[in-house]
Structure 1
Amino acid sequence: MSTFAPKKYQQEVLDSVEAYFKACHELPSPSIAFTAITERLWGRGSPYNGLSGFPADMPYFCLRVPTGGGKTWLAAKSVHLVNTHLLRCEHSVILWLVPSKPIREQTIKALKDRSHPYHTALREVGPITVLDLDEAKSVTRATLDTSTTVIVATRQAFQVEEEECRKVYQSSGALMHHFDNLSPTQREDLLTDGQDSERTTPYSLANVLRLRRPFVVVDEAHNSRTELAFDMLARFRPSGVMELTATPDLERTPTNVLHSVSAAELKAEEMIKLPVVLETEPNWQQCLADAIGRRDALHRLADEERRAGSAYLRPLVLIQSEPRRSGIETLDFEKVKNELITNHGIPANEIVVATGEERGLEQIDADYKLGIADPTCPVKFVITQKALAEGWDCPFAYILVSMASLSSATAVEQLLGRVLRQPGASHRNAKALNQSYAFVVSQNFAETAGALRDRLVAGAGFERREVTDFVRASTAEQARLDLDGYAGRVIVRPVAITLTEKPDLKAVPKVVRDKVTWDSKLNTLTISTPLTEEDANALKASVTSETAAAAIIEAAQVSRTTAVEFFLTPAEAGDRLLVPQLALRTQGTLALFDDPEILEYPWDLSPVDATPSADDLNTLNAALKVTQGGEVDIDERGHMVSRFLPELQRDLGLVYQPENWDEVRIATWLCRNLPEPSLTHASKQAFVAAWLTNLLRQDDFTLARANLQKFLIRNLLEASIRELRKKAVAAAFQRTLFGDDAASRVAVTDQYAFEFHAQAYAPSRDYDGRFGHFDFRKHYYGRIGDFDSKEEFECACQLDTWAQQGRIQFWVRNLVRREGSSFFLQKADGRFYPDFICQLPSSNEQPGPVLAVEYKGGDRWISAEDDRLIGNLWASLSGDRCRFVMVKDKQWAWIDSQLG
């Protein structure tokens, strides 16, 4: 595998991590920083939950990423951020915890493989060393001093009963040299053995880790933080803890979710195949036959696209068989395999069995260069029982067939995750190839759909509020039984029939009995919930006359057809919402204006006075005091309280002794660690050298001190260069977009139109009624993103009212910082996301104009001047294809004037 550019949502996750690490130093503590950053990112600050057994303000946070979102790559990519922005050191120790030994081996292999994206992401930090726990027990001091060292271990390895854990605390002669020339402060912090005068300090890995203050990465952290034995990890004095999981613990021991990625974002970035198209069939042989038919249809589509130039694709069916039981006939793997071969003529070499006894997938990996994805591999069906090998991924997996109950949670969650994920895959032209499929042996569609949604929430990390849209019935008949799938958007009319006899409801299964009521006075049977054909047959058996039986069958059919009325959102109905975007003409060609870097602007640092500011010097002096002695506060009772980050910086300063670098070497290092692609190397080098020379002219500022503080110097230089570039971009932006001949350079065109995709709407928070309730009928999606204020909510109510009157076709609550599901206008220093996008009615068979509406509180009106400028420019260049209005003080007439 080769390196790849991060998806938009992945870059947003990394940006959030960087912002948090920076805020940890800028604000009084990491706990305060967490609340402040979540407020800045999501509009509502989250409280910080300390981790039991650790210092109360140790940096501790969680990244919530659903199945298929690339958690391990994000973890590897974050190591560079840990060193640069949190620890501010060149080399660190990363303790990387995984849930099992197979995942450990897989992770170590990938992190060591120079051609793997995980390794490439990790190497951004500089020299790296990847070790397992056994190798770490003989790690040299030189290794830790010259590379960032990643120690990969299972969580269980640190549980007391594990032998691996005991060895971590045992003295080893191989580690003795780590403890030479320690300061009294360092020795005081080490673990000791024995009692009183006989106490000794073991040369143990545990003590090496205490010296080095490792940063802990916990992969797949869900529901396991108590069994992680964090009290043991606390003994290593970590510098911080980062969890990655699809399903964080939010109740028992709540974690700190810094950034939450939604499944809709993954769908928008083509990381997973959604929706899951579900079909239930009580006869297992027919269910299997239906799945085979679906696979064949997908294969034909894939072959057609391949002939047109698309990549090779061979859709796979994953079949979950039942386990064998002594004396009981089950749909085990042998019976399923025999059915495929005997009744469907599937060649044996197209079937592989992966169970505890049969390890067919391992043989496939050995026989074919690309494993099951190899074009020469014939396999089309994988039969498993409980779960596939951990970490097994194949973008060809499209169809899940479950012979067992969906309540078999672990197996279904894992198999469903395999079908959803599409590593290395991309969007296909055929809609059917961008979806997943589930065929389940079941008589009750609604119950099965509910169980499948539960599995997506519990195992794949989908949010309950979004999962409704991601399970869809394969047939219209079954869709009418999926009332939960249209929660809040379906009307079920009761069906009442008069019978000549009283049905014996006691003999009817409870699941059917709960859907009907009998009125003995009127001799009326009322069906309140749609009945399936199987339900109807069970209910028919409760009467004796043919007339009553026929009436029940007829009424049941009405209950699941004409008695059910769905309210479809515009997105579900197939209406498209496309918004023309700003484009910039460069060298005669139009390009989407989504990055100010495409502006042509003079950018040269050579004429700039490269001198540290007074604020820069104050920051460096304050940081030096911290490094030399730590920092203490006094609590309300007069007790001294150590602050976490100052202590950490002191400890790292003691253990990582910098080499004796000269001025040229320091300047070279600073240039290499200041990525600024818009600058020439010569320009950057001259600026950095001059800045450093001026710094060294300051009193008490030596080369040794510059070397010690080079990470902080790097951050100060980066901030200075960023501010200078910001000014240059702002000038070019104003000249290009608002100059006299701007119309010749800027255009608003359908060539670059943003489309609101039907399943890519991903609010960080849904509106929960906190400002009032309104029956929104014309919102483009079933979900509505939260509103920032009551006035904004009232603006949405007004838009929906006009839409119900026909003056607006439909509207959408536009989201902020959700790049795959929100429209924006690029500014010089950021992006403007209008609050609402409205599709106005069409005329003369042409699409109607698009109206962008922004509501601003009176206190923010003046600061929103640049938003008004770019919004009005966008509208004026569109030829009435687009309109824009910014409203304050509930001046709804301003919007009304744009609707004509």
Structure 2
Amino acid sequence: MTPFTPKTYQQQVLDSVEAYFKACHELPSPALAFTATTERLWGRGNPYHPLTGFPADMPYFCLRVPTGGGKTWLAAKSVALVNTHLLRCEYSVILWLVPSKSIREQTIKALKDRSHPYHAALREAGPVTVLDLEEAKSVTRATLDTSTTVIVATRQAFQVEDEECRKVYQSSGALMHHFDNLSPHQRDALLAEGEGSERTVPYSLANVLRLRRPFVIVDEAHNSRTELAFDMLARFRPSGVLELTATPDLTRTPSNVLHSVSAAELKAEEMIKLPVLLETEPNWQQCLADALARREALHKLADEERRAGAPYLRPVVLIQSEPRRAGVETLDFDRVKHELIANHGIPPEEIVVATGEEKGLEQIDATYPRGIADPACPVKFVITQKALAEGWDCPFAYILVSMAELKSATAVEQLLGRILRQPNARHFADQRLNQSYAFVVSRNFAETAAALRDRLVAGAGFERREVAEFVAAALPEQARLDLEAHAGRVVVRPVAVTLPEKPDLKSVPKPVRDKLSWDSALNTLTLHAPLSEDETEALKASVTSATAAAAIEEAAEKSRTTAIEFFQTPAEQGERFRVPQLALRVQGKLQLFDDPEVLEYPWNLSLYDAEPTAGELAALGAALKVAEGGEIDVDAGGHVVSRFLPELQRDLGLVYPPEHWDEVRLATWLCRNLPEPSLTHENKQAFVAAWLTALLRRDGFTLARVNLQKFLIRNLIEARIRELRKQAVGKAYQQTLFGDDAASRVAVSDQYVFEFHALAYAPSRDYDGRFGHFDFRKHFYGRIGDFDSKEEFECACQLDIWAQQGRIKFWVRNLVRREGCSFFLQKADGRFYPDFLCQLPDVAGQPGPILAVEYKGADRWNGAENDRLIGGLWANLSEGRCRFVMVTDRRWDWIEAQLNRLPVPQR
């Protein structure tokens, strides 16, 4: 099995999930934990929206990941986090819901396939069993007691209204043994039939799930957000709900979005092909011919890359034909296929049709081991009518051709998703192979571009604020009509023309009329927006004289050329922004310093005291009280209520009784569940065994109790080891970077530079004007990440003023925790992200120095000593290529001193 290396954004998503689960236990409720975690992660706490019909503080959250971001892999990786950090149990039941039967079959196949990355991710939870719903209806108690059991099903399969699926709620002799020796508490919690003495509890799968308190994963959650769907979920008393979707509901029943991945992050991590280059053409045959020419050009590029060592690639065209309609001539799949064969000489075997009746793709998948991506497969064109089969995936798809204007939202959204995935999740040397292409039969480019952007937002999960730059015109003459792409950065001057007659504006279509005004006193027609050629023809038809028509023609030409002034950002102008990074010499070779683990330091746990601390003992004592009696509280109405997680721990303790392990077996389990790559197994085992032995010598800590609390113990030991390692790393960091001979070990080299790519800027929040408004003209990108304070905003304004004066070439608001989009300097205990990076003016034809600016409020100045040290070291080692300044109290003169290369005043 080929090892799967997660992308940086994927690891950050998982880190956010782990942080939330830990906070659920540290704070009074998962609801408070959600707001606190989002505050810590993103600088602004998001409100928590409980689900109606569920406990108000049940952990319920959403991961927003756009199309192509690997949602299924993230879900599989999350299972181990659920067991370890939320449920704190060795095994769990996971109810994995998908939107359709085809997605269900694909998910089950991948999760069961031991060579698939999904299965490898799932196995991190320990022994796992993957079942479909039919298999789950006869699952044994032994299976649930000895493995994490993942039941994959469609949401519809659990609806009582579906007659075929009612077996989920009916008694089954195969499940009877699950209900032996239940406590009264457990039996009262089950679904029952009848009342009073007639009350009977069916031995149903639904009741097995209620006993086991499943954690629910909802894939493509936007398809499942109905009251009926939530009612269905509530029947199983879930321990938590995780939604994964590209397009979360933020209004009707708002999802609790814990982590939101942007399309720019996927682009930066080489997961998707952006931008989508759009070209419109009113003649369908010419539109198709243009797409074929593009495919041939891409194919030649792919062959050149392959000869240079790149993997095999055969660009594929997806063609959306029109549906057939009785008595009406349409561009249906037969007509499109005939055009390809008869007029372009395409061999029939290179064309596959995928409609409701034609199952060409299924045949391809059955014939070739790798489906359409197989080198032996000849297919270059896929003709579909509405949408392709759900779950069908082909990163080779590069070009979307739509025979009709973009009206079928569902079909266009799905087809767009198919052309976005980047082959092999890696960039090609030629930028043209890192982009997608769309050819649409249309007369109005601006409307088509707007519709395409709408579909990327509604279906692919792009954010409205970033989508403008991800749909670009392929032709320069069409780019001038795409005002939306330059929103806020374009000036359109009205064009006035005097006419010898009054035009009949009532005869002009309303969209054109809305762009015009007529002044009867001056006989002047004013064009307030650009007119396309088709719109111009419609307006010319409103006058009778050739002179008036010619004047309109000339004015319309001006409206879409000289009357439009675009302001382009440095990134759009093709400027490069490259920042030297800090590197270490390891065994004589330079390598990027992006992980403190590359430091050489003595790390031996046997040197440290393994005795449990007072704080650790207090945590174990508090947890035991909760486990024995359940934690209770009083709500606003004076009613006694139990808190969700303590009640959940009690239930899980009843259904997963701890085994009677001996001390050696328990220590072995703890070591296995303490992943710490910096330690040898023997080193870790000795520390864990000593810690456990010391604990068991204390009064009240029997093997039974310690086994019951083993997950909490695991977390406590992990925290202790992390703190000890942090101390060791801190000493090595100080010696390596700031010791007497640091210059021989640390360097700022051109070998490692961070580049701000044109389409790889992904703020978690854009600046919304909350501290004031300023016309930023020299920011590297059109978007600007949010500012943490008014002083930080004012600092950005000052940088832009200097840039407009020519003292700074351009600058960027640096981002935090957006690794593909932001520059950082590694510290012993984290990363330092300077607030601003400025490219200073060129010197002798070469790029000028880089100035990093960090603004610190007076209340945070004393705690920023390590940031000042690492920033100063980076600048000092750069041999004049980099400068650094930390500012407070609006001391803009400190920045100016760096611009002038003068000594910075001391605070």
Structure 2: tracts of 5 or more residues without a match: 901-907
CA distance in 2 between partners of 1:423 and 1:120 (Å): 22
- State whether structure 2 residue 801 is matched by structure 1 residue 801: yes
Q: What amino acid maps onto 1:194 in structure 2?
A: G
CA distance in 1 between partners of 2:634 and 2:552 (Å): 79
- State whether structure 2 residue 11 is matched by structure 1 residue 11: yes
Please give the secondary structure, in 1, of the residue aligned with 2:231.
helix
- State whether structure 2 residue 488 is matched by structure 1 residue 488: yes
Q: Is 2:214–2:238's contact at 8 Å kept on the other side of the alignment?
A: yes
Which residue number in structure 2 is paired with residue 598 of structure 1? Answer: 598
Which residue number in structure 1 is paired with residue 77 of structure 2? Answer: 77
Which residue number in structure 2 is paired with residue 408 of structure 1? Answer: 408
Which residue number in structure 2 is paired with residue 449 of structure 1? Answer: 449
C-alpha displacement of 1:223: 5.1
**Any idea what the Cα deviations from partners look like across 1:791-843, whole Å, max 9, x if unmatched?**
10011111111111111111100001110100000000000000000111111
C-alpha displacement of 1:544: 2.3
Which residue number in structure 1 is paired with residue 526 of structure 2? Answer: 526
**Any idea what the Cα deviations from partners look like across 1:254-291, whole Å, max 9, x if unmatched?**
11000000000000001100000000000000000000
Which residue number in structure 2 is paired with residue 258 of structure 1? Answer: 258
Which residue number in structure 1 is paired with residue 236 of structure 2? Answer: 236
C-alpha displacement of 1:395: 1.1
C-alpha displacement of 1:228: 5.2
Give the TM-score normalised by the residue count of structure 1: 0.99
CA distance in 2 between partners of 1:855 and 1:425 (Å): 37
CA distance in 2 between partners of 1:165 and 1:346 (Å): 47
CA distance in 1 between partners of 2:117 and 2:404 (Å): 37
**Comparing 236-245 with 617-626, which one deviates more in the overlay?**
617-626
Q: Is 1:223–1:249's contact at 8 Å kept on the other side of the alignment?
A: no
Which residue number in structure 2 is paired with residue 23 of structure 1? Answer: 23
Please give the secondary structure, in 1, of the residue aligned with 2:235.
helix
**Any idea what the Cα deviations from partners look like across 1:101-157, whole Å, max 9, x if unmatched?**
111111111111111111110010011111111211110000000000001111112
Which residue number in structure 2 is paired with residue 391 of structure 1? Answer: 391
- State whether structure 2 residue 767 is matched by structure 1 residue 770: no
Which residue number in structure 2 is paired with residue 740 of structure 1? Answer: 740
C-alpha displacement of 1:559: 1.2
Q: What amino acid maps onto 1:601 in structure 2?
A: Y
C-alpha displacement of 1:164: 4.7
- State whether structure 2 residue 514 is matched by structure 1 residue 514: yes
C-alpha displacement of 1:703: 1.2
CA distance in 1 between partners of 2:122 and 2:423 (Å): 19
- State whether structure 2 residue 312 is matched by structure 1 residue 312: yes
Q: What amino acid maps onto 2:481 in structure 1?
A: L
C-alpha displacement of 1:586: 1.1
Q: What amino acid maps onto 2:410 in structure 1?
A: T
C-alpha displacement of 1:871: 0.5
CA distance in 1 between partners of 2:230 and 2:483 (Å): 44
- State whether structure 2 residue 895 is matched by structure 1 residue 890: no
CA distance in 1 between partners of 2:263 and 2:493 (Å): 33
CA distance in 2 between partners of 1:556 and 1:70 (Å): 47
Q: Is 1:838–1:852's contact at 8 Å kept on the other side of the alignment?
A: yes
**Any idea what the Cα deviations from partners look like across 1:644-683, whole Å, max 9, x if unmatched?**
0000001111111122211111111111111111111111
Q: Kindly report which structure 2 residues correspond to 1:567-582, keeping only aligned pairs within 5 A, or say none.
A: 567-582=567-582
CA distance in 2 between partners of 1:743 and 1:162 (Å): 72
Q: What amino acid maps onto 1:275 in structure 2?
A: P
Q: Is 1:393–1:423's contact at 8 Å kept on the other side of the alignment?
A: no
CA distance in 1 between partners of 2:634 and 2:503 (Å): 78
Q: Is 1:277–1:435's contact at 8 Å kept on the other side of the alignment?
A: yes
Q: Is 1:156–1:228's contact at 8 Å kept on the other side of the alignment?
A: no
C-alpha displacement of 1:374: 1.0
**Comparing 435-444 with 515-524, which one deviates more in the overlay?**
515-524
Which residue number in structure 2 is paired with residue 625 of structure 1? Answer: 625
CA distance in 2 between partners of 1:11 and 1:286 (Å): 45
Q: Is 1:280–1:445's contact at 8 Å kept on the other side of the alignment?
A: yes
Q: Is 2:29–2:57's contact at 8 Å kept on the other side of the alignment?
A: yes
Give the TM-score normalised by the residue count of structure 2: 0.98
C-alpha displacement of 1:579: 0.5
**Comparing 195-204 with 55-64, which one deviates more in the overlay?**
195-204
- State whether structure 2 residue 492 is matched by structure 1 residue 473: no
Q: What amino acid maps onto 1:320 in structure 2?
A: Q
Please give the secondary structure, in 2, of the residue aligned with 1:293.
helix
Please give the secondary structure, in 2, of the residue aligned with 1:222.
helix
CA distance in 2 between partners of 1:634 and 1:557 (Å): 73
Which residue number in structure 1 is paired with residue 673 of structure 2? Answer: 673
Q: Kindly report which structure 2 residues correspond to 1:341-360, keeping only aligned pairs within 5 A, or say none.
A: 341-360=341-360
Please give the secondary structure, in 2, of the residue aligned with 1:424.
helix
- State whether structure 2 residue 120 is matched by structure 1 residue 98: no
C-alpha displacement of 1:232: 2.3
C-alpha displacement of 1:309: 1.2
Q: Is 1:317–1:380's contact at 8 Å kept on the other side of the alignment?
A: yes
CA distance in 2 between partners of 1:199 and 1:511 (Å): 67
- How large is the Cα RMSD of the aligned pairs? 1.0
Q: Is 1:68–1:423's contact at 8 Å kept on the other side of the alignment?
A: no
Q: Is 1:853–1:887's contact at 8 Å kept on the other side of the alignment?
A: yes
C-alpha displacement of 1:541: 2.0
C-alpha displacement of 1:200: 1.3
CA distance in 2 between partners of 1:544 and 1:297 (Å): 46
C-alpha displacement of 1:540: 1.8
CA distance in 2 between partners of 1:302 and 1:844 (Å): 38
C-alpha displacement of 1:509: 2.1
Please give the secondary structure, in 1, of the residue aligned with 2:859.
helix
C-alpha displacement of 1:308: 1.2
Which residue number in structure 2 is paired with residue 201 of structure 1? Answer: 201
Q: What amino acid maps onto 2:70 in structure 1?
A: G
**Comparing 162-171 with 8-17, which one deviates more in the overlay?**
162-171
Q: Kindly report which structure 2 residues correspond to 1:827-846, keeping only aligned pairs within 5 A, or say none.
A: 827-846=827-846
Q: What amino acid maps onto 2:16 in structure 1?
A: S
Q: Is 2:472–2:485's contact at 8 Å kept on the other side of the alignment?
A: yes
Q: Kindly report which structure 2 residues correspond to 1:700-719, keeping only aligned pairs within 5 A, or say none.
A: 700-719=700-719
C-alpha displacement of 1:191: 2.0
Q: Is 1:394–1:422's contact at 8 Å kept on the other side of the alignment?
A: no
Distance 1:94-1:803 versus aligned 2 partners, 3 A rule: same
**Any idea what the Cα deviations from partners look like across 1:585-608, whole Å, max 9, x if unmatched?**
111110000000000000001121
Which residue number in structure 1 is paired with residue 328 of structure 2? Answer: 328
Which residue number in structure 2 is paired with residue 609 of structure 1? Answer: 609
Structure 1: tracts of 5 or more residues without a match: none
Q: What amino acid maps onto 1:342 in structure 2?
A: A
- State whether structure 2 residue 821 is matched by structure 1 residue 818: no
C-alpha displacement of 1:227: 5.3
- State whether structure 2 residue 643 is matched by structure 1 residue 643: yes
Q: Is 1:319–1:381's contact at 8 Å kept on the other side of the alignment?
A: yes
**Any idea what the Cα deviations from partners look like across 1:515-541, whole Å, max 9, x if unmatched?**
222222211121111111222222222
Q: Is 1:62–1:242's contact at 8 Å kept on the other side of the alignment?
A: yes
CA distance in 2 between partners of 1:153 and 1:725 (Å): 43
Q: What amino acid maps onto 2:468 in structure 1?
A: T
Which residue number in structure 2 is paired with residue 168 of structure 1? Answer: 168
C-alpha displacement of 1:513: 2.0
Q: What amino acid maps onto 1:403 in structure 2?
A: M
CA distance in 2 between partners of 1:580 and 1:607 (Å): 39
CA distance in 2 between partners of 1:132 and 1:370 (Å): 25
Q: Is 1:95–1:217's contact at 8 Å kept on the other side of the alignment?
A: yes
Which residue number in structure 1 is paired with residue 904 of structure 2? Answer: none
Q: Is 1:223–1:248's contact at 8 Å kept on the other side of the alignment?
A: no
Q: Kindly report which structure 2 residues correspond to 1:645-660, keeping only aligned pairs within 5 A, or say none.
A: 645-660=645-660
CA distance in 1 between partners of 2:540 and 2:377 (Å): 51
- State whether structure 2 residue 154 is matched by structure 1 residue 149: no
Please give the secondary structure, in 1, of the residue aligned with 2:898.
coil
C-alpha displacement of 1:550: 1.9
Q: What amino acid maps onto 1:763 in structure 2?
A: P
CA distance in 1 between partners of 2:862 and 2:21 (Å): 32
**Any idea what the Cα deviations from partners look like across 1:310-358, whole Å, max 9, x if unmatched?**
1111100000000000111100000000011111111111100000010
**Any idea what the Cα deviations from partners look like across 1:701-723, whole Å, max 9, x if unmatched?**
11111111111111111001000
Which residue number in structure 2 is paired with residue 184 of structure 1? Answer: 184
Please give the secondary structure, in 1, of the residue aligned with 2:607.
coil
CA distance in 1 between partners of 2:417 and 2:525 (Å): 43
Q: What amino acid maps onto 1:102 in structure 2?
A: S
CA distance in 1 between partners of 2:423 and 2:731 (Å): 42
Please give the secondary structure, in 2, of the residue aligned with 1:878.
coil
Please give the secondary structure, in 1, of the residue aligned with 2:450.
helix
Which residue number in structure 2 is paired with residue 538 of structure 1? Answer: 538
C-alpha displacement of 1:235: 1.9
C-alpha displacement of 1:169: 1.5
- State whether structure 2 residue 35 is matched by structure 1 residue 40: no
Q: Is 2:99–2:223's contact at 8 Å kept on the other side of the alignment?
A: no
